[in-house]
Structure 1
Amino acid sequence: MSSRLLLIIFFFWSVSLMHAQKTFTVESPDKSLKIDITIDQVITYSVSHMGDLMLSKSPLSMKLTDGRTLGINARLSSARTNMVQQEIKAPIYKRAVISDHYNELTLRFKGNYTLLFRVYNDGVAYRWITNFKNSFVVESEQVVYNFPADNQAFVPYANIQGFAPFMTSFESVYQHIKLSQWKSKHLAFSPLVVEAANGKKICLAEADLLNYPGMFLTNSEGSTRLTGIFAPYPKEMEWGGYHNLQEIVKTTENYIAKCKGNTNFPWRVVIVSEKDFELADSDMIYKLATPTQCTDLSWIKPGKVAWEWWNSWNLYQVDFRAGINNDTYKYYIDFASRYGVEYVILDEGWAVNLKADLMQVVPEINLKELADYAKSKNVGLILWAGYNAFNRDMENICRHYAAMGIKGFKIDFMDRDDQLMVEFHVRAAEIAAKYKLLVDFHGTYKPTGLQRTYPNVINFEGVHGLEQMKWSPATVDQVTYDVTIPFIRMVAGPIDYTQGAMRNATKSNYRPVNSEAMSQGTRCRQLAEYIVFESPLNMLCDTPLAYMNEEECTTFISQIPTTWDNTVALNGEISKYISIARQKGNEWYVGVLTNWDARILELDLSFLGEGSYKAIVFKDGINADRIAHDYKKEIIDIPMDKKLKITLAPGGGYAMKIYANSK
């Protein structure tokens, strides 16, 4: 064959490809954010913000076990754009009404599947949708994030427990590293933040995870590319781990998910912020979640919880032996009632150990008597439950304890997010809702919007919370972590952090004491965390007498709401400081945290609008850098220009309640 003929063939082949290639551009409603999609032999997308490239061309596809591959050599059958502007009511959230405004591109392909893109002013998201006649199996999904430069990232490496490659508590602290410095054999979980051009930040997350494994991220090449990876479908499992309450995956299948013909897959989310603090105010995950089908939410009561586990049931100046018994829990109930705390939790120990049977209650506890006593004091009871014990008899457990008057369960030690475990969370939420029970998922992966689909799911752990201070060495920097999670982990949803320590330590004085734990940082830091951290079910971690001996602080904590009418992130930088204002009714609360650097900040309170205001303020005492529990309470007038200068000690905090000055 002559070279001329080869050239002609190549020319016509090239022209054919050019005609086959299709490109689409979708902009955000305010034109600041743009996604470019190319459909060729592969489908790729890139993301730009105000001319700055956030993501370079990144491929996406999904491979099925029957040989089909979604997104490879895809044949487009239709493309449709749409603009949506609506409001979402959010009764158990950080704001009562959410503005939901986006532009959408729907790409339908031959073979009965769809790729859906949405572009908001603060981020983009895409998901696969199938409309097959029959069920199918997903072998793998290609998720790639190609970054245009070797930028710094905040990486939470998964602390693999050793039982299985994808088993982790999802409680890691963050490593601030360049993308190319990623440990090649390490997985990280989302949300994860990457720094970008001109000080912008990119937060990678996922939403609406209901029937599919969660996404980990990896970088095995030392490149600027992050790749999604998913836990394979479990094949053989056995009970084991902590007190025989965990389910250990022994072997796996060579695929990741079994799916129904009609499946909406999770959203892959890229949130872009110009200012760090905008991440702390994001609604993206909630907006993308499946709306609830529940019509009556009146029985779902957010609130605070008096908690005994962190303080090791350490009551003193009492006439009974403190521990797991009715006298101790009646004392906690009395304390909760006195301060208007809505719940008391019975954490680990009320059920017989090593039996994984929630119907076997220890003889020292009479649950019916406690439930009746709590009801008489206008307090609800929540029960801790290990995953194994809850999962094996879920319906009967919920029915039995709901009839007794129990208000909910704190379910612990899932420590996986493969498809079977994700489906457990949905099933637990659904059955608990059937019996009007709250659910606090502890020992679990990050939220992805399940709290919108099932509003009785009122909190999630997946955070390196205050419990870590019972055993962590001084090398663990909880203070810096505290001013990192509002920009990363909290983007996904509420956090069961369990603050409220009345024993506080400076950086040099902290040490782990399991039975009489302390916090890192100041007293006012603990108060401010009730405002800064989103947590509809919020623990008071310390012992009742410690709170009663600190009447000012306890009264203030007890008055702080756990859900809000509005939220305004005021300022902040990742790992440095954060300031957030939240509104309930006619009152505003402001919380500020700093890292180990002392700091002077000016708060812009212009969100208050016109008028005269006063505030109850809790601020670090003049000696808080030496004695962490030193604080000062005062009542101040908010300046008429709404600019307030504040001072924070190292590891410090600032909390205030603002109200109209009636004069």
Structure 2
Amino acid sequence: MLRIKRSLLLFLVVTICNNVLFAQKEGTYTLESPNSEIVVDVNIGEDISWTVTNRSQKIIAPSRIAMTLENGEELGDSPEVRDSEKKEVNTTIDAINYKKDVIENYYNQLTLKFNQDYGLIFRAYNSGVAYRFTTNKNKEITIVSEEANFNFPEDHMIYIPYANDPANDVYQISFENLYQHIPLSEINKDTVAFAPVLVELPSGMKAAITEADLESYPGMFLKAGEKDFSLKGEFTGYPLEEEQGGHNGLQSFVTKRADYIAKTSGTRHFPWRVVIISNEDRELLNNDMVYILASAPRLDDTSWIEPGKVAWDWWNDWNISGVDFPAGINTETYKYYTDFAAENNIENILLDEGWAPRGEILNTIPEIDLDEIISYAEGKNVGVWLWSGYLPLAQNMDKALATYSEMGVKGLKVDFMNRDDQKMVDFYYNLSEKAAEHKLMLDFHGAYKPTGLQRTFPNVVNFEGVRGLENTKWSNTDFPLYDTQIPFIRMLAGPMDYTPGAMKNASKANFRAINSAPMSQGTRVHQLALYVLYEAPFNMLADNPTNYKKEPESTEFIASVPTTFDETIALDGKVGEYAAIARRKGDIWYVGAITNWNARDLEMDLSFLPEGEYEAVIFKDGINADREATDYKREVINVKSGDQLDVHLANGGGWAARIYPAQ
């Protein structure tokens, strides 16, 4: 009898197919998505390989799957299937602090069990496929390597972010590099890339490769495979020796790695290898596979977790003005940030780097009276978050969590991990669990891409792993291009702390990277739209309160946009060109659209609105926004379901709206 654990599921339908087989050495097992468009074939011969097709178009050509243990045992070599089982699952998941409140969880699953006490689980969704290893051994095992191959039938174009210059340690990175748009055949064979990557396929299809439910195991990098037009997984060796270093000594650099990638329990499920498949680009803007594939929540009580926005100090270099005290990292400045937050319904303030002495976490600098700041903020119903470098927190985790929780701190922004080997992945889980015990939320910076940890531990409310707005302080990166790539690629993995909100906006010709007086590339409305477009349960206002006070219309719109939603609809988009999304919270809809440096006209279809009369507060690029990027126009109009609005996006432009029932 199949036993289903009841957790957050509203209903569950499971169909078990009578597919139990006698042990056999060869055979092909076929699994279809619920809509029958995606087909997975698992071939069992001298080894194990899989292929994937979508609408009869081959996506993944035969690709070998294997895992090698320390004793030379190779899971996947001369496999013998002991039994197999198919099932259909059609249920829903109640999401926590997500882009929708209920997620459809509809898939077909194939489980293969082999004679060497291991297995493989394959799933086929209407939006992609995934597989994972399982083992059932009665002792700890050492994983020497895993073979995860993704062979493509042709020389497709790929969006791929290389990890680092191959002359450096490619495995110690911030996971913020830009995408190269190149043929598979031109992938640099001397380095690795990090997931997600996105492959362009015929007929407008796309395939993104990433992973989910990464726990007590190294993250999967990708590199050129042995065959033409292929990618293969690359996994970091376990750290044996480390030394302190990096920015202000906050990082731990691996100086010696083991010849194995993980030591782990012999009875477990391993991370999912995921291929997300779309027929149109816009489908990538609203995909749930990584969240669905993650382990279920491990917290019984999540009522204390309060995602929201935060007035942030670091990007704007504490450059407030019009006050009678010296601006900087001091108590008076953070009271000013608190007043701004309270006046504009911003839920939190953040004390970023500098509030504690360099390399410490249990003390404050003389200019900071943390008790006074927290007490003042509590009196105004504003939460206080603290920034921490990785190493000081790792060395003082228990005491730091207990101390700051008792003081009334709401959460920690943790920075400069810059690795995803097994030891670092264990740190994420250990910190997440212990922080939850102290009712502390977490925002991971210097972080690898999300793999679903935010579902397992909902107190994790955001991740960086993205080249965010902070880079405009020192880089001439083409941000409007990057901004229109990441919602189709990086955001597939989960939320991203991009930190939008610049009030100083520049055209391509006028942009300058200025560290202490930063500006954004693209228009003002481009920045406003990012609050709707990008998933970020913990979302920062990057500019300083003085600038926001000078721009009350923009500030009011930013403050009005929730950070979690009840429903998300992907409206339109094309990778690297433009994107448009609608999200609902209660009966209010929020719409955001952005473009790259090319101006364009869109038709905004409001068919997603229920029947009724609505008012829409609209922000659109001003007539001169191509020259003066701060130029915008705000208007209030009446709309209804089915209306088609003509939308013009200036170079690097945007469009944003809040739509609510008419009174």
Corresponding position: 1:91 with 2:92: no
Match of 2:286, SS state, is coil
Describe the shift of the 1:23–1:592 C-alpha distance in structure 2 as closer, same or farther (beyond 3 A). Answer: same
Q: Which amino acid aligns with 1:611?
A: G
**TM, length-normalised to structure 2:** 0.95
Q: Deviations over 1:102-154 (max 9, x none)?
A: 00000011121110000000100000011100001000000100001000000
Q: Deviations over 1:352-408 (max 9, x none)?
A: 01xx22112101111111111110010010000000011001011000000000011
Cα pair 1:336 1:342 within 8 Å, conserved: yes
Corresponding position: 1:358 with 2:361: yes
Cα pair 1:54 1:197 within 8 Å, conserved: no
Aligned equivalent of 2:462: 459
Q: CA deviation at 1:220?
A: 6.1
Corresponding position: 1:346 with 2:351: yes
Describe the shift of the 1:161–1:583 C-alpha distance in structure 2 as closer, same or farther (beyond 3 A). Answer: farther
Aligned equivalent of 1:581: 582
Alignment of 1:229-240 (within 5 A): 229-240=234-245
Q: CA deviation at 1:539?
A: 0.3
Q: CA deviation at 1:639?
A: 5.3
Of 355, 378, 383, the match for 1:380: 383
1:291 and 1:645 map into 2 onto residues whose CA distance is: 43
2:444 and 2:276 map into 1 onto residues whose CA distance is: 25
Q: Which amino acid aligns with 1:507?
A: K
Alignment of 1:650-661 (within 5 A): 650-661=651-662
Q: Which amino acid aligns with 1:21?
A: E
Alignment of 1:541-560 (within 5 A): 541-560=542-561
Q: Which moved more, 1:406-415 or 1:600-609?
A: 600-609
Aligned equivalent of 1:512: 513
Q: CA deviation at 1:461?
A: 0.1
Q: Which moved more, 1:258-267 or 1:560-569?
A: 258-267
Cα pair 1:184 1:222 within 8 Å, conserved: no
Q: CA RMSD in A?
A: 1.2
Aligned equivalent of 1:470: 473
2:27 and 2:186 map into 1 onto residues whose CA distance is: 36
Q: Deviations over 1:551-583 (max 9, x none)?
A: 011011101000000000101000000000000
Q: Which amino acid aligns with 2:403?
A: H
Corresponding position: 1:637 with 2:638: yes
Corresponding position: 1:407 with 2:410: yes
Describe the shift of the 1:248–1:642 C-alpha distance in structure 2 as closer, same or farther (beyond 3 A). Answer: same
Q: Deviations over 1:286-329 (max 9, x none)?
A: 00000012121110000000001000011111100111110111
1:312 and 1:490 map into 2 onto residues whose CA distance is: 28
Q: Which amino acid aligns with 1:551?
A: P
Cα pair 2:24 2:82 within 8 Å, conserved: no
Q: Which amino acid aligns with 2:662?
A: N
Q: CA deviation at 1:261?
A: 1.4
Q: Deviations over 1:221-241 (max 9, x none)?
A: 683010110111111111111
Paired positions, count:
641
Aligned equivalent of 2:337: 332
Match of 1:485, SS state, is coil
Match of 1:647, SS state, is strand
2:572 and 2:525 map into 1 onto residues whose CA distance is: 18
Cα pair 2:346 2:382 within 8 Å, conserved: yes
Moved over 6 A (4+): none
Cα pair 1:203 1:488 within 8 Å, conserved: yes
1:140 and 1:20 map into 2 onto residues whose CA distance is: 24
Aligned equivalent of 2:569: 568
Q: Deviations over 1:489-531 (max 9, x none)?
A: 0000000000000000001100101001000000000000000
Of 221, 224, 243, the match for 1:219: 224
Of 446, 452, 455, the match for 2:449: 446
Q: CA deviation at 1:603?
A: 1.6
Match of 2:104, SS state, is strand
Cα pair 2:25 2:79 within 8 Å, conserved: no
Q: Deviations over 1:257-289 (max 9, x none)?
A: 001111210000001000011011000000000
Match of 1:406, SS state, is coil
Q: CA deviation at 1:50?
A: 0.7
Cα pair 2:600 2:649 within 8 Å, conserved: yes
Alignment of 1:18-33 (within 5 A): 20-33=25-38
2:186 and 2:657 map into 1 onto residues whose CA distance is: 41
1:222 and 1:481 map into 2 onto residues whose CA distance is: 30
Q: Deviations over 1:595-621 (max 9, x none)?
A: 111110012221113222220000000
Alignment of 1:119-198 (within 5 A): 119-159=124-164, 164-198=169-203
2:71 and 2:191 map into 1 onto residues whose CA distance is: 30
Cα pair 2:568 2:581 within 8 Å, conserved: yes
Of 53, 57, 82, the match for 1:52: 57
1:193 and 1:567 map into 2 onto residues whose CA distance is: 22
Q: Deviations over 1:4-29 (max 9, x none)?
A: xxxxxxxxxxxxxx973111100000
2:227 and 2:24 map into 1 onto residues whose CA distance is: 36
2:507 and 2:431 map into 1 onto residues whose CA distance is: 41
Identity score, percent: 50
Cα pair 1:134 1:260 within 8 Å, conserved: yes
Cα pair 1:522 1:630 within 8 Å, conserved: yes
Of 390, 393, 397, the match for 1:394: 397
Q: CA deviation at 1:160?
A: 5.3
2:72 and 2:513 map into 1 onto residues whose CA distance is: 54
Match of 1:414, SS state, is coil
2:657 and 2:79 map into 1 onto residues whose CA distance is: 56
